Amino acid sequence: MQRLHQSSDIAEIFAQIKPQYLDKLQIYCVKNSLPDHRVGVIITKKHIPLAVDRNRLKRQIRELCRRNLITKSNKYDILILVRIKITTSKANFLSQLNNYINNLT
């Protein structure tokens, strides 16, 4: 799994599809023709002020994607945006994302 971090790739995903919304997430998911999955996570300072918390959540999201996408035969570009301040438990938030990724075909 690779990171999706070039601005041109991210802009291309924004232009291609409309997002899907989970509770606090906005998810862009599109199939790619590359040999590997690419995942990008965007969390603004406005929503999670401490860098330690932002980076921890990014690592957790990337690891969740890595574990679940390894079994998928189709390759995806997934861009995840955190849109609302997360004040409650992150376990519920991560379980929703886990269910979404497991339902990809």
What confidence tens digit (pLDDT) does each residue in 22-65 have? 878 899 999 999 999 999 999 999 988 999 989 999 999 999 99
Top CATH class, 2-102: alpha beta
Q: How many CB atoms lie within 10 A of CB 1?
A: 17
Q: What does the DSSP 8-state code read for residue 85?
A: -
Q: State what percent of residues in the chain have pLDDT above 90.
A: 38
Which of 7, 85, 5, 84 is CA-nearest to residue 38? 5
Confidence band for 105, pLDDT divided at 50, 70 and 90:
low
Confidence band for 94, pLDDT divided at 50, 70 and 90:
confident
pTM of the predicted structure, to 2 decimals: 0.85
Length of the chain counted residue by residue: 105
Query: Measured between alpha carbons, how far is 72 from 105 in angstroms, rounded to an integer?
Result: 7
Query: Measured between alpha carbons, how far is 40 from 31 in angstroms, rounded to an integer?
Result: 14
